[in-house]
């Protein structure tokens, strides 16, 4: 049972100039975990002291970041099966108070609109053309070419709101929707780009021969073949590597999202965020 009086007394001591008292108060409040956040937020609104406000905000972030690290560790250790869950955990880094059900509903709505129009007998390419029509023409998703380094391009809730994202965020949404429709589309970790592969389900044991074609979600769902991947790698002076052609794990996808965020925040000079995101990357390494 949470002791409200004790918590409120501790919060009042957060601006104490004595570092020993402050450390004791800080650690005690931290030990309460997420239960204490509502009290801290209410105190923040009433605080007139800048030091106290800053310390409250830092403590709330510290608690939320600790929870996020645990969630990511659990997701990873339990097999990282649900890509949507993984990307929602990363979304919490910037948007800890977000109503995640809203995000899930947005994805379900797009899925439903595709499903309504989907013919049972549609060929793989027809399926992709239909997804493209709904995803790009009706919902208006597109690659954020004008502000490619913006960290918001990597946060799922923002990409769903603005309909603009980077290669990997668009590919994540696209593949989650496709898989919900039982369409075998999976992420491929290409250097400097992220694409999707449409698998031939009848040969799923052997990826290499089991890929029908690739999809570039950054370019309106453009369909292309293995030769184009060869050419792309040649332009980058990269030798053949099996992983550039085949689906990668959900953990690899989330690692790539975190790396994108690290470079976005490095670009903005946000040293603390870079350090925290490196911690998240460490959990998945």
pLDDT tens for each residue of 189-243: 988 889 999 998 766 544 555 899 999 999 999 999 888 888 888 888 888 778 8
The predicted pLDDT at position 154 comes to: 95
- Give the chain's mean pLDDT: 90
Task: Copy the structure tokens of residue 235.
Answer: 């332009």
Which residue's structure tokens are 């994540």?
172
The model's pTM:
0.89
* Mean local confidence (pLDDT), 254-279: 95
The predicted pLDDT at position 205 comes to: 47
Higher pLDDT, 54 or 64: 64
Q: Which is it for strands 185-188 and 164-165: parallel, antiparallel or unpaired?
A: unpaired
Higher pLDDT, 11 or 160: 160
At residue 139, what are phi and psi to the nearest 5 degrees? -85, -20
Mean pLDDT lowest among 41-55, 132-146, 270-284: 41-55
Residue pair 91/103 in contact by the 8 Å Cβ criterion: yes
Q: What percent of the chain has pLDDT over 70?
A: 97
């Amino acid at each position: 049972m949470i002791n409200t009086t004790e918590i409120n007394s501790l919060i009042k001591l957060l601006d104490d100039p004595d570092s020993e008292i402050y450390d004791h108060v800080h650690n005690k409040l931290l030990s309460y975990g997420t239960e204490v956040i509502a009290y801290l937020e209410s105190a923040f609104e009433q605080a007139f002291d800048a030091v106290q406000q800053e310390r409250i905000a830092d403590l709330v972030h510290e608690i939320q970041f600790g929870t996020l690290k645990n969630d990511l560790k659990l997701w990873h250790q339990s097999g990282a099966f649900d890509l949507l869950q993984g990307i929602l955990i990363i979304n919490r880094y910037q948007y800890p108070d977000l109503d995640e059900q809203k995000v899930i509903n947005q994805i379900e709505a797009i899925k439903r609109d595709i499903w309504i129009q989907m013919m049972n007998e549609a060929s793989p390419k027809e399926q992709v053309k239909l997804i493209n029509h709904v995803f790009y023409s009706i919902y208006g998703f597109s690659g954020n070419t004008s502000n490619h380094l913006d960290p918001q391009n990597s946060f799922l809730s923002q990409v769903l709101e603005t309909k603009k994202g980077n290669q990997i965020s668009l590919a994540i949404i696209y593949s989650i929707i496709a898989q919900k429709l039982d369409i075998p589309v999976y992420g491929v970790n290409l250097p400097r780009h992220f694409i999707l592969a449409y698998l031939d389900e009848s040969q799923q044991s052997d990826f290499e021969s089991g890929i029908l074609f690739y999809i570039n979600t950054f370019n309106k769902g453009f369909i292309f073949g293995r030769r184009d991947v060869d050419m792309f790698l040649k332009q980058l002076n990269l030798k053949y590597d099996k992983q550039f052609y085949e689906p990668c794990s959900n953990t690899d996808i989330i690692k790539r999202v975190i790396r994108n965020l690290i470079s976005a925040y490095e670009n903005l000079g946000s040293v603390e965020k870079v350090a925290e995101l490196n911690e998240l990357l460490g959990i998945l390494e």
